[in-house]
Structure 1
């Protein structure tokens, strides 16, 4: 009995192996009729081999679009089905075996909802595979479908790095431009979030800042009264100074004997960077307002505006060409610039344990979420007047690498290596046609 069961198991295993081989072979060759017959013999069950490959994977690998449509539309196979290594039909459709049929296969898979950023066990995305093979048309299609140009595999390589390794220059230039475009878009989005955050901080902490200013004024008057008592000045001057402190304390809600408490509250709530607005910022605001008022007065009275700087070599006559524009025109052209208001009296900027930026307001609240920007950019946005302007900045990606650390592909085989020029120079001595011509010439 056991012997008959083992024979039946062997027969079923051999039949399953034959059906699996038939399905995979039919999909690889693109024979729709053979594939349908093999699927009917397996009761519409799609077989899987020991590596996790199915007929859909083989059809995508060899670019058999008709077989892919049959398996996906009639037998409802998933376009994101992965084998044991994490390879999906979209990965396999970008292989070198697909040939010129890769673009239509990739386009069909994307139309059927294939995930464009799916990763294998080694971290490869379909964009990595397309960059490795140098398929620029497929790279363009994947990027338009939302492929991540900054994705990294398990070795930390991006699709742009693979283009450089395999010397696909046109693909590398396209991916580099898309990476720059994505960085600029993300930076603009985060800067808008930073601008909104600044407005929210100013709106919520305005009352707290005004109360702290009043407390500072009360403390200054108290120190002034103590100084009067130590100096021994006349009583009339002391009484007038004390009356001023009483009126200011009433307006700020200050009670007698609470000076120490006010000092403690100020030292606990006021951050190190929380200082009163500097006079330079007020002067800048007043100066800008005065400029606007002067221009308005000139326009109202019809006076002539001031002449521009004469950039000509000869001061007696203006320059021949006039390529400059008015300052107001430049301002209108860049009307979406961000505000340069200093929040030094509202917030404290620091770093947490992981080195990430952390923003605390003057009332002790921690602002979250912080925009995804470098610490220097957040500092320059919050405190534009205190951060010095750096004249020399090296490019972000300009880093020195050792030649041994540069990623490169393996050495070519002997058959792939270029021939030496010596063989071309010695061709005249080896080529029999040349020898025949020379002998005929000598015989004449």
Structure 2
């Protein structure tokens, strides 16, 4: 009658081991009874603190796993939309090129002028083989007898001392225009080709210009969807180079001597508090 699950009853009775076993077996900690109460609220009303803490942690863990799954779906959706957006732009570009070629051909026919089409941009030419080859010119090679060839060091320093940087001056098939770190290429702007709509039920749908019907978006807040799909509307205050690698503080070398292993960690905390806090103000 009251739609109480075994997890609700165990939480109301304060049976911690029973609650742990039910949650590990797959019981839904977000399920509500006929009065709209979750097992966490039942444990809170009957003052079972340990059960309430365990249920709150279980609900948080489940919510985070669900959010990670939905964010992975959003990332795959973004990659798919960027791919189809690029194809749609290429189709428009080819249509404009065909129209331009037809108009130029008609004009040249009317003026009786011979057409002299040059090679298209990006076409492979035989005289460019030497430019893209990794082998150095034979005239500039100097043989060093008895001495090994010196190795070229990296041009920048990695923020992580345990990992070498990705970029180097000796990278092949690449033209370096400056000594600054490379920046990431601009992301495609999906604002003109994709639209997001929010229904009164709370479900979000996206509509692409190359599709006829809207499709459901991942179950995430609307602000999160907009930030991921339309990053141009939310510019970042900090920009990191393409070769930047984040690292943990625990991986950095310690320059200060380690404390006494026999001493308590609270001793070091007290020393820092004495340095930070002002006497008479705490």
TM-score (norm 1): 0.34
Cα deviation, 1:73-94, whole Å, max 9, x if unaligned, reads: xxxxxxxxxxxxxxxxxxxxxx
- Which residue in the other structure is 1:386 paired with? 233
Alignment partners' CA distance in 2, 1:194 and 1:168: 39
- Which residue in the other structure is 1:199 paired with? 79
Q: Is the 8 A contact 2:207 2:215 kept in 1?
A: no
How far off is 1:370 after superposition? 1.9
Alignment partners' CA distance in 2, 1:348 and 1:171: 44
Does 2:173 correspond to 1:326? no
Q: Is the 8 A contact 1:341 1:382 kept in 2?
A: no
Cα deviation, 1:106-151, whole Å, max 9, x if unaligned, reads: xxxxxxxxxxxxxxx3221110010000000000000011000101
The change in CA–CA distance for 1:128 and 1:252 in structure 2 (over 3 A counts) is farther
Cα deviation, 1:148-168, whole Å, max 9, x if unaligned, reads: 010111111110011110000
Secondary structure class of the residue paired with 1:365 = coil
Q: Is the 8 A contact 2:82 2:188 kept in 1?
A: no
Cα deviation, 1:166-202, whole Å, max 9, x if unaligned, reads: 0000000100101110010000001111111122223
Higher relative CO (Cα under 8 Å, sequence separation at least 6) belongs to: 2
- Which residue in the other structure is 1:188 paired with? 68
Instruction: Determine which of 21, 24, 27 is the counterpart of 1:147.
Output: 27
Q: Is the 8 A contact 1:160 1:175 kept in 2?
A: yes
Secondary structure class of the residue paired with 1:385 = helix
Does 2:40 correspond to 1:130? no
Does 2:204 correspond to 1:357? yes
The change in CA–CA distance for 1:178 and 1:382 in structure 2 (over 3 A counts) is same
How far off is 1:248 after superposition? 5.9
Alignment partners' CA distance in 2, 1:343 and 1:300: 42
Alignment partners' CA distance in 1, 2:216 and 2:31: 24
Secondary structure class of the residue paired with 2:231 = coil
Give 5+ residue unaligned stretches, structure 2.
107-150, 167-186, 238-282
How far off is 1:326 after superposition? 2.7
- Which residue in the other structure is 1:249 paired with? 99
Does 2:223 correspond to 1:376? yes
Alignment partners' CA distance in 1, 2:227 and 2:161: 24
How far off is 1:362 after superposition? 2.0
1:78-117 aligned at under 5 Å gives the runs none
Instruction: Please identify which structure carries the higher helix content.
Output: 1
Does 2:11 correspond to 1:177? no
Count of residue correspondences = 173
Cα deviation, 1:194-239, whole Å, max 9, x if unaligned, reads: 1111222233343223233566xx5xxxxxxxxxxxxxxxxxxxxx
Alignment partners' CA distance in 1, 2:30 and 2:44: 15
C-alpha RMSD of matched pairs (Å):
3.7
Alignment partners' CA distance in 2, 1:359 and 1:253: 38
Alignment partners' CA distance in 2, 1:252 and 1:129: 78
Does 2:40 correspond to 1:160? yes
Alignment partners' CA distance in 2, 1:190 and 1:139: 27
